[in-house]
């Protein structure tokens, strides 16, 4: 795994320095497009995904490759999620990137049979490199990490209602929000997952559960000793990407507390 992590880091650094960072705060309006549903895409997203796909094919040849932008162009690409596959988010937090602000990152996962086996999260600006392999722990820049809570009472919750329907949004404000100190979310899973393990946030709720957003981060947080699971406690699977609802927490007890409240919502 060490050799694969080293090769992955080299690939991520190369793509960041070649396709992403040169365009940060340097995008023309013609290089940004609206995909709808509060989603943007830039020329950097597209170019970096192509480079990442080419690099991953060299690391382990023959696997299916499911990239966010390729899937947007051709939904049949999603069939690869039921196979052994690479999952790519070339720039997670594109909205931030396009506006010239942090955070944003690259998410890569290796999955098989619908289950994430390994994951990598890279922040091009800070160079933070999070890695995890199922059953082998989680690491930041090569150092093993164990999830820690903020220690705050009430706990710190990064919760967005952006993708919730109006009724659920109102229930969240009434039944969930009063039990937590709410903070802004980074609109970037590559940042949100580390925040849950490194003592910045205690809990979060994700409504959309797209594989490129969550495959790497969910594994990584679980491997730190935190907990990510569906609202009913079942494991996150990359081939159930159209199923809404995912809870992340810095500890199993914090997860259980929030899940109990979420399951009472209509």
Which segments are annotated as binding site for Mg(2+)? Answer: 68, 89, 91-92, 213
For residue 103, say if its preceding peptide bond is cis, omega within 30 degrees of 0.
Answer: yes
Six-digit token string for 81:
């999620």
* Binding-site residue ranges: 68, 89, 91-92, 213
How many Å apart are CA 26 and CA 182, to the nearest integer? 33
Q: What is the DSSP string of 149-183?
A: ----SSPEEEE--TTS-HHHHHHIIIIIGGGSEEE
Taking every pair of Cα atoms in the chain, the longest distance, rounded to a whole number of angstroms, is 50
Instruction: Give 57's Cβ-side CA count (13 Å radius).
Output: 11
Contact 221, 193 (CB under 8 A): yes
Cα–Cα distances (Å) from 42 to 45, 220, 256, 264, in that order, read 5, 27, 38, 40
**Which pair of structure tokens corresponds to residue 193?**
């997952």
Query: What does the alpha-carbon distance between residue 21 and residue 16 come to, in Å, rounded to a whole number?
Result: 6
């Amino acid at each position: 795994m060490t050799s694969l992590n080293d090769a992955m880091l080299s690939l991520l650094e190369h793509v960041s320095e070649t396709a992403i960072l040169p365009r940060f705060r340097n995008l023309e309006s013609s290089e940004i497009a609206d995909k709808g549903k509060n989603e943007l895409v830039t020329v950097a997203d597209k170019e970096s995904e192509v480079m990442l796909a080419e690099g991953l094919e060299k690391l382990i040849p023959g696997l299916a490759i499911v990239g966010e932008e390729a899937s947007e162009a051709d939904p049949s690409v999603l069939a690869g999620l039921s196979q052994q596959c690479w999952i790519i988010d070339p720039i997670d937090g594109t909205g931030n990137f396009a506006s010239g602000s942090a955070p944003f990152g690259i998410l890569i996962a290796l999955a098989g049979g619908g289950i994430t086996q390994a994951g990598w999260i890279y922040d091009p600006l800070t160079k933070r490199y999070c890695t995890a392999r199922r059953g082998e722990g989680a690491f930041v820049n090569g150092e093993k990490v164990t999830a820690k809570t903020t220690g705050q009472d009430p706990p710190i919750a990064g919760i967005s209602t952006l993708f919730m329907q109006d009724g659920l949004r109102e229930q969240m404000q009434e039944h969930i929000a009063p039990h937590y100190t709410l903070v802004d979310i980074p609109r970037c899973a590559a940042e949100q997952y580390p925040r849950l393990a490194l003592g910045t946030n205690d809990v979060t709720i994700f409504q959309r559960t797209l594989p490129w957003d969550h495959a790497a981060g969910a594994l990584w947080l679980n491997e730190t000793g935190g907990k990510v699971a569906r609202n009913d406690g079942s494991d996150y699977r990359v081939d159930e990407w159209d199923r809404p609802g995912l809870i992340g927490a810095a500890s199993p007890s914090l997860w259980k507390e929030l899940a109990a409240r979420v399951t009472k919502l209509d």
